[in-house]
Structure 1
Amino acid sequence: MAAGQPGLVKFLFCLATLSILLAQVNAEKSLSQLKLNSHILQNSIIKEINENPNAGWQAAMNPRFSNFTVGQFKHLLGVKPTPHGELTQVPIKTHPKSLKLPEKFDARTAWSQCSTIGRILDQGHCGSCWAFGAVESLSDRFCIHFGMNISLSVNDLLACCGFMCGAGCNGGYPMFAWRYFMHHGVVTEECYPYFDDIGCSHPGCEPEYPTPKCVRKCVNGNQMWRSSKHYSVSAYRVDSDPYNIMAEIYKNGPVEVSFTVYEDFAHYKSGVYKHVTGDVLGGHAVKLIGWGTTDDGEDYWLIANQWNRSWGDDGYFKIRRGTNECGIEGDVVTGLPSTKNLVRKVVSVDDSGDASL
């Protein structure tokens, strides 16, 4: 018995060590769940941002997320990383450096006749940002290239693209959204709405955030699904050099961009955002509409979000330009509108067509 005691002691020591490790793992799991159930908006984060002279932006308790938990906010961040094998097959667009670009540009004023550019929408509780960024940008480009003020349907893309685009309200791939436009087109918002007269009517506006079912039928019986389709002629990435991104917007209109979101971003109110504090929560897609430089010399991108006007700077935000802040310059996708299926005759453009000012 005495001879076996050292082995027994060693066994009990290992057992105790294992119990401690398991307790630590369980504690981390509990802490993680506790974090997800906590409020996304925190006074401590606002204080840290607003008292930091180098932050460059101001934080606030945005009403949009006053009742959101970290988990609910995280669900809005619906960008899934595009598989590397797929990325290698996507064309990358560059622009000749000979084009002289303005120091400041805002697509809302450059194409003031296009009402869609200045719309701020609301994705509700659905992780549909990947669909919003794509549909909004294509809507703008139909106006810029063809003079058509139309709003295209997020629901069509969200519900009907299926596994090709990802998982609907549980996230998707921005590039595959643009491929859907090429091969299947997208109907108008009037045909298949996400919104009603008082705001968000989509099922994803409810906290359960289900993905809508694809019905392939216009809500207005006088409209035909197939004839309501609008297509793109291309789907491509834009080279991450800020010049190429600016040239693309200047010549062809707003683009869809994705970036990494941290906890502090939920608190953005004004100024030029850069990550200061908080954990990483996911990837978000938005519409990039311009650029500029502050009086203090900070270069920025101007972006329209889809969290309604009660968030941020009337629904918009600025983020640091030229440093790939949160990956904002590394994942820019877009495409050009097609004349296919259009009712009225328009001037045709090919894959290299521009809408230069």
Structure 2
Amino acid sequence: MTINLLNAFARGLLWWVFATGSFSVTGTATTSVSPLYSELIDDGHVKGDYTKPLPYSYIRPSDLPETFDWANVLTKERNGDDKGRSYLTRLLNQHIPQYCGSCWAHAAISTLQDRIKIFRQGAGEEINLSIQYILNCGRSAGSCHGGSIVKTYQFIKEESGFIPFETCQPYLACSYDSNEGFCPHVDTSCTPFNACRTCDTFEENGGTCREIDIMPNATVAEYGVYDRDDFEHLEDFIHAVKAEIFARGPIGAVLNGHGLANYTGGIYDDPTQPTNHTHAVSISGWGKNAQSGKEYWIVRNSWGAYWGEMGFFRIRMGTNILGIEEKCAWATPGRFTTMNYPCDEDGGNCGPVTKTYLDPSEDITIVMKRLRRYQEGRSVIS
């Protein structure tokens, strides 16, 4: 396969210019995608691509708090006020404007966005990445009929090299094999036009649409999988997942989604349901019920805010309910585009700049400080 791209890093920008000629990220890519998403993580093909230490290697189980959630993080000195702030990016509905089994892409991309937001301490405009770009160009990762979280990260890092912002290509809930809704009439081919486009602002110019050659985007630095089979005990796997979430942010997970069809709230705890994997989600934290002592995961779904607990659900921890404690996938951002501040009065010094993500595993003092501040009842984001 070929990706003829000319990058502009030499100018200090994390933007990409499409070179003239062919643009293909699917030329020789093949994927076997099951309607039941049997390849949601598929670590048999892709185990990971990372060199930095994993958080569980430097965070002890006893160091971790009893409860923690990136959707509700204390951001200032307590002073009697324990209300928190969300460091998660916006929640979406994968089935709007029509059915699309792209949960794998939503789980993969939402966690990548979240980690950028956490790194930026919630400052600046929220960065949302184009899931539709993955559906258009990442056929090796999947389609509207299933796919793989970790193959999404592999595609971004090793095939495409980037993922554009959502303003380049908004979510259409269509892929090359979609027959639902208006999808048969949508061009989902992987072309420069379908990577980033716009249409003329003024009607008198004809309203014509064109590709954008230079676009803001983000990259993937590293990615990997936590597999229950790699740990001697389930509690060791749980420790690894908790440490990953606390140190670097939400993590992708898979489970049996059919059991959630009638969920409306509370801690889901039905051990009679199957555990084969049919759905992908992201885990943002964990908690413990004060009355029952029952521990649970806090999970973001991609079925809209009307569903469950405002788009989230809680599920019992430690008993592998719905198969959620078997495999999880993660990725760390590489670089991303952001606006330069301050901006000069004459418009100078106002262009986009490249920011590089600092992985807490490169500087574990970041995590140690966060743990200490949390234990003291203070903001974990300083």
Change (3 A) 1:209 1:233: same
Task: Kindly provide the CA deviation profile for residues 260-302 of structure 1, in whole angstroms up to 9, marking residues without a partner as x.
Answer: 233x420011111133556678511011111001121111000
Task: Kindly provide the CA deviation profile for residues 309-343 of structure 1, in whole angstroms up to 9, marking residues without a partner as x.
Answer: 22212211011112222221221101111126664
- Give the structure 2 partner of residue 25 of structure 1: none
**1 or 2, which has the higher strand percentage?**
2
Shift, 1:159, TM fit: 1.8
- Give the structure 1 partner of residue 284 of structure 2: 289
Q: Is the 8 A contact 1:230 1:341 kept in 2?
A: yes
Aligned equivalent of 2:66, options 91, 100, 103: 103
Shift, 1:178, TM fit: 1.0
Change (3 A) 1:335 1:118: closer
Q: Is the 8 A contact 2:275 2:323 kept in 1?
A: no
Calculate percent identity across the aligned residue pairs. 28
Aligned equivalent of 1:151, options 106, 112, 128: 128
- Give the structure 1 partner of residue 358 of structure 2: 349
Aligned-residue Cα RMSD (Å) equals 3.4
Whether 1:135 aligns to 2:109 is yes
Long gaps (5+) in structure 1: 1-73
Give the letter for the 1:180 counterpart.
Answer: F
SS at match of 2:254: strand
Q: 127-136 or 225-234, which moves further after superposition?
A: 225-234
SS at match of 1:237: strand
Long gaps (5+) in structure 2: 1-33, 76-83, 201-210, 229-236, 339-351, 368-379
Shift, 1:209, TM fit: 6.4
Shift, 1:86, TM fit: 1.6
Shift, 1:244, TM fit: 1.2
Change (3 A) 1:310 1:111: same
Q: 281-290 or 81-90, which moves further after superposition?
A: 81-90
Change (3 A) 1:88 1:191: closer
Equivalences for 1:42-191 in 2 at 5 Å? 78=37, 80=39, 82-83=41-42, 85-87=44-46, 93=54, 95=56, 96-98=58-60, 100-110=63-73, 117=88, 119-124=90-95, 125-146=99-120, 147=123, 149-162=126-139, 164-166=140-142, 168-183=143-158, 184=160, 185-191=162-168
Change (3 A) 1:232 1:326: same
- Give the structure 1 partner of residue 377 of structure 2: none
* Alpha-carbon distance between aligned partners in 2 of 1:306 and 1:299, rounded to the nearest angstrom: 23
Equivalences for 1:216-255 in 2 at 5 Å? 216-217=192-193, 218-220=196-198, 224=212, 227-238=215-226, 240=228, 241-255=237-251
Shift, 1:224, TM fit: 3.4
Q: 213-222 or 318-327, which moves further after superposition?
A: 213-222
SS at match of 2:113: helix
Shift, 1:239, TM fit: 5.3
* Alpha-carbon distance between aligned partners in 2 of 1:215 and 1:333, rounded to the nearest angstrom: 28
Q: 332-341 or 344-353, which moves further after superposition?
A: 344-353
Shift, 1:176, TM fit: 0.4
Whether 1:271 aligns to 2:248 is no
TM-score where L is the length of structure 1 = 0.66
Give the letter for the 1:174 counterpart.
Answer: I
Task: Kindly provide the CA deviation profile for residues 187-238 of structure 1, in whole angstroms up to 9, marking residues without a partner as x.
Answer: 111111016xxxx799979558669443433232598355323101011113
* Alpha-carbon distance between aligned partners in 1 of 2:155 and 2:94, rounded to the nearest angstrom: 20
- Give the structure 2 partner of residue 11 of structure 1: none
Give the letter for the 2:136 counterpart.
Answer: A
SS at match of 1:326: helix
**1 or 2, which has the higher helix percentage?**
1
